Amino acid sequence: MTADAIPQEDEPTAATEFWAGAKLSFPVIVAASPFAFLFGAMAVKNGLSVFEATLMSFAIYGGASQMVGIDLFGQHIEPWLIVLSIFAVNFRHVLYSAAIGRKLSVWPTIQQALGYFVLTDPLYAEVERKGEAGRHIAFPWYIGFGATLYVSWVIQSGIGAYFGNLIPDPHALGMDFLLPIYFFGIVLSFRARPNWLPVVIVSGIASLIAYKTVGSPWHVSIGAAAGVALVALLPVRQGGEFER
């Protein structure tokens, strides 16, 4: 029986929920694993030990911010600037946490504290998709997704740090472009939402301008803020999706 492998006993469906969440994380693990390996390999190349590389995945758990972090480690930049850059890349989580906060607030505090620790772009997207379908977010389902992705990210980072130099041709394997494809698919899956197209266009253009002018970590926050500000300024829709 699979049930005895899972600690939750308060709800008969907890094991099923956990497994359902874990299964949803598998495509994300496939998409993210090249980045975990790449992160580990690059971290060691930039002077981190295998332990430090794994610790970084264990404690920060934010792919893009970890990549930016080790990039700066290699350049001997002031420590506080590295921390600030990590914060900037991860700032988008403030928006995720605000958006799903009402759905998670029915959980006990410790579950919420844990839940926010494993909150990532793909998990956020899955929560929104489930919420879109009008379904309640169960902690076992959420942690099934979050913990599975988290554990594999940490382990794969460690493996990457160990064996990183052995990857023959990361480019030929499309490693650098798997996550953009994944996020593109998620963006497309939101197309039924009100204001979807204007938001995508404005955020896209604003992020590209920021990317070219301010530089890399900030294009995420600036571009997203532009798209969200647009919606805040547009007339609020009262009824159906396409009424004004």
Partner 1 sequence: MSTTVWIIFWGAVATYLTRIGGHLVLSRFEHVHPRVEAALNAVPAAVLTTIVAPAVLTAGPAEWTALLVAGLMSLRFGMLPLFLVSAAVLIAGRQLVG
Which residues 112-141 are close enough to bind partner 1 by CB under 8 A? 112-113, 116-117, 119, 121, 124-125, 128
Shortest Å distance, C-beta 165 to partner 1: 20
Per CB under 8 A, contacts with partner 1 among 166-195 are: 171-174, 177-191, 193-195
> For residue 68, which of 32, 49, 60, 207 has the smallest C-alpha distance?
60
The residue (of 136 and 212) whose beta carbon lies closer to partner 1 is 212
Compute the half-sphere exposure of residue 9: CA atoms within 13 Å on the CB side of its CA. 3
**Between 1 and 236, CB nearer to partner 1:** 236
Q: Between 210 and 229, how does the x/- string for binding to partner 1 read (CB under 8 A)? A: -x----x--xx-xxx-xxxx
Nearest to 14 by CA among 111, 116, 150: 111
Between residue 20 and residue 79, which ones bind partner 1 under the rule CB under 8 A?
Answer: 26-27, 30-31, 47-48, 52, 55-56, 59-62, 64-65, 69, 73, 79
Least Cβ distance, residue 2 to partner 1 (angstroms): 22
Measured CA to CA, the distance from residue 243 to residue 37 in angstroms comes to 47
What string of DSSP letters covers 56-113?
HHHHT--HHHHHHHHHHHTTT--HHHHHHHHHHHHTHHHHHHHHHHHHHTTS-HHHHH
Which CB atom, from 17 or from 128, has the smaller least distance to partner 1? 128
Per-residue CA distances from 215 to 212, 223, 243 (Å): 6, 12, 38
Distance CA 174, CA 189 (A): 23
In total, the chain counts a number of residues equal to 244
Least distance to partner 1 from the beta carbon of 3, Å? Answer: 26
Computed on alpha carbons and rounded to an integer, the radius of gyration of the chain in Å comes to 19
Instruction: State the residue for tokens 């090249």.
Output: 34
By CB under 8 A, the count of residues binding partner 1 is 94
Q: Is 9 helix (H, G, I), strand (E, B) or coil?
A: coil
Nearest residue (CB) to partner 1, 3 versus 51: 51
Under rule CB under 8 A, which residues in 190-209 are in contact with partner 1? 190-191, 193-196, 199-200, 203-204, 206-208
Write out the two tokens for 6.
């899972």
Using CB under 8 A as the binding rule, whether residue 232 contacts partner 1 is answered as yes
Task: Return the number of the residue (159 or 178) whose C-beta is nearest partner 1.
Answer: 178
Specify the residue, 7 or 237, whose C-beta has the smaller distance to partner 1: 237
CB of 69 to partner 1, least distance (A): 6
**Segment contacting partner 1 by CB under 8 A, of 5-13, 108-116, 137-145, 153-161:** 108-116
